[in-house]
Structures are given as structure tokens and as C-alpha cells.
Amino acid sequence: MSNPIKSRPPRAACADINWLDNHLPVSSHYNDVYFSKADGYRESLHVFIDGNDLINRFKALSAKQNFVIAETGFGSGLNFLAAWHMFERHAPSTAKLHFLSVEKSPLTKADLIRSHTPWPHLRAKCWAITEHYPEPVNGIHRWHFKPGASKSRQQDRTRVFLSVFYGEVEAWLEASDFRANAWFLDGFSPSKNPAMWSPAVSKQVAEHSGSGTTLATFTVARIIREQLTSHGFSLQKKPGFRQKREMTTGIMEWAGSSPPALSAHPIPPANSSQTSPIMVVGSGLAGCWTARWLAQRGHRVEVIESQPGIAAGASGNIQGALYIKLAVDWSPHTRYHLASYLFALRAYNALFGSDSALWNPTGVLQLAQGSKELARQEKFLLQNDYPESIVYSVDSKSAEHLSGVSLAYGGLFFPAGGWCRPASLCEALLQHPLIAVHTGTHIISQQPACAGGIRLVAANGAQFNGSHAVYCTAHGSIENLPVKRISGQTTQFALKPGQESALRTVICGDGYAMPMLNENGQPSIVTGSSFHPRQSQAIVTASDHQQNLEKLTALSVDFEPLVADPGPLTGRASIRAAFADYLPAIGSRDEHTLFNVGYGSKGLVLAPLAGEIIADLIEGIKPPLEDDLLKRISPERFDDL
């Protein structure tokens, strides 16, 4: 490819590929191959697996230990596939591999699939990568991988994590606070891709390493070796693969001094000998996703809920929409919400993709309802370039075709969005053998435990001891966090015999409508939601029902016959918790206490990534967000208030 087109954010320009012998990808821009023509897989084993002595190091891992590999240049994913394959064969069954990589110009999904054809013995792993291959947008993208071929989502443990940053390598290293156990330095050759091998990159590689961190690379270029040596690596030349005479390996040696500290983390990570449970207070979407991700990593979890049943608050709604309203500006706020949305889609599809009783990816239409919203959407389209797999513009005729109902407006269509059943989702997430649930248990105090960790004391006298407590309690029991209480109400009504809703997608405007819900053979419509930022009590009112129905008919005239005489109206009123900056609070305030709160009405889209961040922080692993975004959502931002 000639110089990559500098596109509007957030799109990452995909690689332009030529094919040698029908299966070997060659970069048109760098005029270099992605892997050896002789045998790419064997080359990866020789240079990166053997060059970092990974088989022996994998065998020596203790139970539940994390091993972090960082790579410069994801390309076809071959090095990750080789590392995953060797980790699965040689590491303890409860150890975890975190593979971090960067890619400026990702392959298209079609090119990725084609590049994997030479390795039939890795077919299942290749498919696992391509199944949830991320869209080409800038930022960090994470996948989960489980061992073997088990179909039980309750029994499998997540052992392998892949986080790929789409963007420049220097930007990745500057934005990500992590420390690697091993480095795969695998950009295109230094003469053809000097940015990947710059002095700044070598310095950052060293700063993201600790004493004993190893590296391996195919290059023996003198300038690269001098750069790495000057930053503390002791290097050796070793025989290269096949026709390549030499390669380079190295180990970080600090000569008696401590490595430069990355930002210190206040949470003592869970270690291999830890048997204490992690306590999650609250059983809404925040608590359930947190508990599920922790359990899938092998942690025992105690979920503690003050109400008689789980998901008693806003997460208990019978139907909810998974969607995101992207801002016009490519701001930190937009970056965070987009990252959450894309991670959520992977999570819902991976866990519940075949279960329409829980998750229905019908697409979401955001209507340009009114001149103000129309102008906002027009500006959004001018300033941003999103792949159509994420969002694209539709006129009113196309919107009608997609939705199945009459619409006076066009808008933005999110083809991967949809709707789910939040209350049922919470139940499903807690169905894991390592999760215990305690309802009707209101926590009133927290104190240090005698053997380390913390103790939670409930009003009924129950006590819980664990290594960490994660508060996912929305608006309750959150000391010193300036949370706002916002009341909202949904409306539900049954359709009469002969009536039906033709709506096929979620549609959003001033209100929202979702496809018809069928409960026990009774078709019904759920709509809403009212919004009362200064009301702190959850009360179902006739006025809110009326307001919700008016918003429903304003979306489409097709709803007017359905609400003309709707019969009994039911619904739920609940309190949402939010902060003034419209960002949640996710992270720690002391060494054993973490918070995961403040989603407002965005729980379905924010909770999966938030739970992943909490699990990473507890394990001492870099979460899949840039550092500036982690700081923006940290509860520590309220420390000076």
C-alpha cells in the first residue's frame, strides 16, 4: 500500500495485501512478508518460543500465576497462536497467559482467514481469533479464550487473554502501563519499518520490562542491538531460522538497581496460594458481570445482596436495549464508551449468542428525531469515520425497511446492537460453580480481617471474610462518592388478540421501543423510560406511564392503534446511580476495596468491560483500556472533593 490514508477517527486503515503462492501475505506498503515462506509456524516457534525459553518457563509456572507476553506487530496473529498452543500444552491448567500486541494496519477479516490456511493443526484456534476479530477502530481490543472444546459455559475457565492495540507502537507503549515477562519484537524489518524499531520504542520496551524479562527477535541489526543494550538488556546472537543465519535473544539485567517504576498499583494482586473468596456487594449488572469474570478466572466469589432477590434495582427490568450514543467529538468520553460497547458485544455474543431468551442482536436505530438531533447526527457523520459494521446512516425509507414499522425519520443504524432480558441475564451470569449468592444480607461495616484481607459485617449478624471487596451497589452504601440518584420508570402493556407489533429492531429517539416480548404466550410491549434527575424515590406513577406512551407513538404512527386502549399498564420504577461527569467509578480506593458503580442508564453496555477491569486490577494485570481512560473512571478522581 502506498502511504496509508490518514482517515478520520476512529477508523484504523487496514493493510493492503499481496499474496505470494496464494497463501503468504505480503505487505504492499512495506514490501515485506508477514511470516517465513519456508514454514511460518516453525519460524515462530524457533525465534519467539524457543528464543524466550517459553516451554520451560510455562512448565515452571505456579497455579493461577499470570504470564505476560508483549509483541510489536500482531500481523496475522501467528506468534500468538504459537504461544497459545505451547501454553496450553505445557503450562499448569490454572495458570493464565496475557498476550499484549499492537497493530497499526490490521488485516481485514478475510485476509486474516486466508493467512491462516497453512496451519490446519491450529484450525480451532484460528477460528477462535476470527470469530470475534475486532473492528478496525483505534484503541485496545480484548478477546477471551478457553481451553479444549467444552461447551459448558459454567465449567470452563478463561486461561488465555489477547489484547491488541490498533494504532502506533509508541502511542501504545506510552498509553499502557504494563510489565512484560517476555517480548516478541516482530515488526517488519528495521530498514523497511523504522518507526517500529526507533530509539523511543527500545526505551519503552525496557521501561515495560523487569529484571529477568526476556526478548527475542529475528533481527541482528547493529543499531537495534545497541539501542536495547543501552537500556539494560544483555543480548546474544543465536542461529536463525532456516536460511537466516542469526537472530537475537536477550534478558533484562538491572545491574543491582531497581527497574524504573511504572505507576504503582495500590491493590495487592491475588496470588497462586490465595484461597479466600472475593466478595462482590450487589447483584445488579455490575455485580453479576464482575462475579462472572472473576469466577471464570478461577476465583471463589461471594455475591452479597441486601434485597430478597437478585437484580432488585434497575437491572431487574424485563427487557432492555444494548446501544450506545456516540458523541460527535472523538474525545476520551467517546473512546471509553466505544471500547465498552465493542467489548460488550463480544461478551454477549460469546456467552449468550445462541440463547435468544437472553440476547437478541436485532440492531438498533437511533432516529434523527427533531432538528437538533438531525444536526447532531449530520455533524457526527462529517467528523467521524466508523466501519459500517459498527454504525452507518440510513434515510427514513431504509429505516422503515430495517425496523418493520413506519418512520418519519432516518438516523443511525447500529447493526450489532440489540436487546436482552437484564433480570434473566443476571440470573444466568451467576450460574457458576465458584459463585455463591447471599440475598437479604445488608452490609453495614467493613473491617480488617485477622489473617489479612477484609471482613464484611451484615445487619443480620453474618460475617464474610475475603481478600477483596467490590462494591457494585449503585446508589447505596458508597462513602464519599458524589453519586446522583436518578429515578426512571418503564411501561409494559399486553397486546390484545389480533394485535401484534411488526417492530424488528430497537428504535430510540426521545423514547425507545423494542421488539415485541412474548411472556408465557402473552405478547407485550415494553417502552420508556422516564427520567427524573431530582427524584430519589422509585415510585410507579400514572403520569410517567402516560409520558412513556406519548413518546412511543411519537416514534411511529404504527404504535398508535396499540396504545389507543392498552388495558392495564404495568412497569418498574428504579433508581439509577450516576456522576456529574457521566462516567462510572471503576477501581480502588484502598488496597482491599474496589468500586464498580455509577452507570446511569448504561448498565447493559458498560458492565461487561467494567467487570473485566475489576478482575484485571485484582490480579495485577493491565486492563484493556488506555491509562488516561482508566484515570478518568477511577474513583480516586473524587479524593479531593
Per-residue pLDDT band for 256 (boundaries 50, 70, 90) equals very low
C-alpha 253/C-alpha 282 separation (Å) is: 46
- Looking at residues 248-265, what average pLDDT do you find? 61
For residue 560, pLDDT over 90 is answered with yes
pLDDT for 271 equals 44
Give tens-digit pLDDT for 300-329.
Answer: 999 999 999 999 888 888 899 999 999 999
Q: How confident is the model at residue 262 (pLDDT cuts 50, 70, 90)?
A: very low
pLDDT at 274: 53
Residue 597 one-letter amino acid: V
Kindly write down the DSSP assignment for every residue of 106-127, as one continuous string.
Answer: PPPHHHHHHHTTT-GGGHHHHH
Lookup result for grid cell 410507579 = 540
Please report the pLDDT score of residue 475 as a whole number: 63
Residue 272's pLDDT is what? Answer: 36
Give the pLDDT band of residue 480 (cuts 50, 70, 90). confident
Question: What is the pLDDT of the chain when averaged over all its residues?
Answer: 90
pLDDT over 80 (residue 221): yes
292 pLDDT exceeds 90? yes
pLDDT tens per residue across span 123-181: 999 999 999 899 999 999 999 987 653 344 444 689 999 999 999 999 999 999 999 99
Superfamily of domain 364-415+484-578: D-Amino Acid Oxidase, subunit A, domain 2 (3.30.9.10)
The CATH classification number of 278-314+424-481+581-638 equals 3.50.50.60
Cis preceding linkage at 529, omega within 30: yes
Q: Where are the domains of the chain?
A: 39-252, 278-314+424-481+581-638, 364-415+484-578
Which set of grid coordinates corresponds to residue 243? 536460511
C-alpha cell at 383: 467528523
Closest alpha carbon to 139 in 107, 109, 184, 104: 104
Please give the pLDDT value at position 38.
85
- 498-515: average pLDDT: 92
The pTM (predicted TM-score) of the whole model is 0.94
Q: Is pLDDT of 266 > 90?
A: no
With contact defined as beta carbons under 8 Å apart, do 609 and 629 qualify? no
User: What CATH number should be reported for the domain whose range is 39-252?
Assistant: 3.40.50.150
pLDDT of residue 641: 60
Q: What are phi and psi of 129, to 5 degrees?
A: -70, -50
N-terminal to C-terminal alpha carbon distance within the chain: 52
Mean pLDDT score, 236-243: 91
**Residue 270: band (very low, low, confident or very high) from pLDDT cuts 50, 70, 90:** very low
pLDDT in tens, 347-401: 999 999 888 889 999 999 999 999 999 999 999 999 999 999 999 999 999 999 9
**According to the model, what pLDDT value does residue 149 have?**
39
